[in-house]
């Protein structure tokens, strides 16, 4: 019996992994749409919505210095290789940011006893822990990864929600103005985004009800974002407490090099590690959703449009099998077995997020099988559609 607690702990770890992968879809940048403030079609109301969203999508070029508070309602276990994800999405986080552009910025997580900073410069991310007098170097700015504090800033969160959809698509999905409000002393225009609902005879596939964006009227910088699930509960909320628009102090952006500080290389988190080891080239479309990255360039691919997103990682067979066993030990149920063929599946849910582990054993031995991790803020029906496609039309091996 001593193996049972160990297997349940492993199940919790993999539950955190799959939820982290789902958060990768919701919170991390997945590309930038070709936005235009004109030509979306419709009357003045549509043009107004399109203009607000277009300016928000282009807001990475707006420099600022500000303090923001973000909060999440997801309870994840605090486990190795998850970094600060559990804290970021399960409690309130206060940050101070100096933003020059997408390649040059600094975000400090403020705590009761100090701060932990991240400095973006020269395509690399350097971490500085003031309390421990420790530097972490060598983390890439882009690529598959778990969310970090900078992803929960209102501008970054808004741009991620807008990626992968055109203005016309968002308007068709019900994007509409919601009035105006003052955020951090600045007048902001509101727009509510809604997920696509599918055909008339198809139930909504997203577990998100809407996202409210509040966009600075003067600059187009998103000042607040609220992501709400279908039962009215908060998923993620972020807003500036104070903000100054304009070039930040260059001295604040300098990467620290304190004498005597310990220096270590950044660890590969679970999402980045899984993407690197991915053995299969994922399809250009999955469950009717387009890929938001080139599947040939990465083993972790986001699919979707607007608020309807899936994240998929192809796993080595042994790793997928271990994840499946651990999830089953933690009480996970399978997907619809009548539609997933001979595959073994396990469904893990955490609030608005859900994920499925899909394992297909190969005839040439256990290492010849296939495994996938499919996740998002979606209903199990969409996970089942994706799993069925991966099983019946298996991807090719990565070169």
Quote the pLDDT of residue 41.
41
Quote the pLDDT of residue 21.
53
pTM for the predicted model, two decimal places: 0.84
Find which of 208-212, 233-237, 375-379 is predicted with most confidence, using mean pLDDT: 208-212
At 175 the three-state DSSP class reads coil
Q: How many CB atoms sit inside 10 A of residue 212's CB?
A: 16
**Residue among 220, 237, 283 at smallest CA distance from 27:** 237
At 352 the three-state DSSP class reads coil
- State the residue for tokens 């660890």: 267
The mean per-residue pLDDT over the stretch 126-146 comes to 77
Task: For the chain, list the domains and their CATH numbers.
Answer: 33-265 (2.50.20.10), 270-392 (3.40.1000)
> Over 80: is that where the pLDDT of 238 sits?
yes
Please calculate the CA angle 249-253-257 and round it to the nearest 5 degrees.
130
Tell me the pLDDT tens digit for each residue of 169-217.
888 888 999 999 999 999 999 999 998 876 544 558 899 999 999 999 9
DSSP string for 196-253: ---STTS---BSEEEEEEEEETTT--EEEEEEEETTS-EEEEEEEEEEEESPPPHHHH
The mean per-residue pLDDT over the stretch 150-157 comes to 88
The mean per-residue pLDDT over the stretch 162-167 comes to 81
111-117: list long-range contacts, CB under 8 Å, 24+ apart: 117/256
Largest CA distance in the chain: 67
Q: Are 162 and 57 in contact (CB under 8 A)?
A: yes
The mean per-residue pLDDT over the stretch 9-14 comes to 52
Please calculate the CA angle 334-340-344 and round it to the nearest 5 degrees.
45
Quote the pLDDT of residue 296.
84
Q: Are 69 and 92 in contact (CB under 8 A)?
A: yes
Distance CA 99, CA 120 (A): 10
The mean per-residue pLDDT over the stretch 264-277 comes to 66
């Amino acid at each position: 019996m001593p193996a049972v607690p160990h297997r349940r702990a492993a199940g919790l770890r993999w539950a955190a992994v799959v939820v982290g992968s789902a958060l990768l879809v919701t919170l991390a940048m997945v590309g930038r749409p070709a936005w235009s403030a004109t030509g979306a079609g419709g009357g003045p109301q549509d043009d107004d919505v399109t203009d607000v969203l277009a300016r928000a999508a282009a807001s990475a070029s707006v420099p600022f210095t500000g303090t923001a508070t973000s909060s999440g309602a997801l309870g994840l276990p605090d486990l190795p290789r998850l970094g600060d994800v559990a804290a970021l999405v399960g409690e309130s986080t206060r940050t101070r940011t100096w933003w020059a552009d997408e390649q040059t910025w600094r975000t400090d997580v403020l705590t009761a006893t100090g701060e932990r900073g991240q400095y973006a410069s020269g395509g690399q991310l350097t971490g500085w822990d003031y309390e421990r007098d420790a530097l972490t170097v060598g983390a890439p700015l882009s690529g598959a990864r778990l969310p970090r504090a900078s992803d929960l800033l209102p501008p970054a969160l808004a741009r991620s929600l807008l990626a992968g959809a055109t203005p016309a698509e968002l308007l068709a999905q019900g994007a509409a103005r919601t009035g105006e409000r003052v955020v951090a002393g600045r007048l902001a225009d509101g727009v509510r985004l809604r997920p696509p609902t599918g055909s008339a005879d198809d139930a909504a596939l997203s577990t998100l009800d809407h996202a409210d964006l509040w966009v600075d009227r003067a600059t187009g910088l998103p000042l607040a974002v609220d992501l709400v699930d279908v039962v009215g509960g908060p998923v993620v909320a972020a807003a500036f407490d104070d903000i100054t628009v304009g070039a930040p102090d260059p001295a604040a952006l300098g990467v620290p090099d304190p004498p005597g500080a310990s220096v270590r290389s950044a660890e590969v988190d679970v999402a980045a590690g899984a993407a690197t080891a991915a053995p299969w080239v994922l399809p250009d479309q999955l469950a009717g959703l387009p890929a938001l990255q080139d599947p040939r360039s990465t083993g972790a691919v986001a699919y979707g449009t607007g608020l309807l997103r899936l994240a998929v990682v192809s796993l080595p067979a042994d790793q997928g099998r271990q994840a499946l066993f651990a999830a089953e030990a933690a009480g996970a149920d399978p997907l619809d077995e009548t539609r997933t063929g001979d595959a073994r599946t396990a469904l893990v849910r955490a609030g608005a997020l859900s994920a499925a582990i899909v394992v297909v054993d190969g005839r040439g031995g256990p290492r010849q099988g296939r495994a996938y991790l499919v996740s998002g803020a979606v209903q199990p029906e969409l996970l089942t559609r994706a799993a069925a496609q991966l099983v019946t039309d298996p991807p090719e091996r990565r070169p």
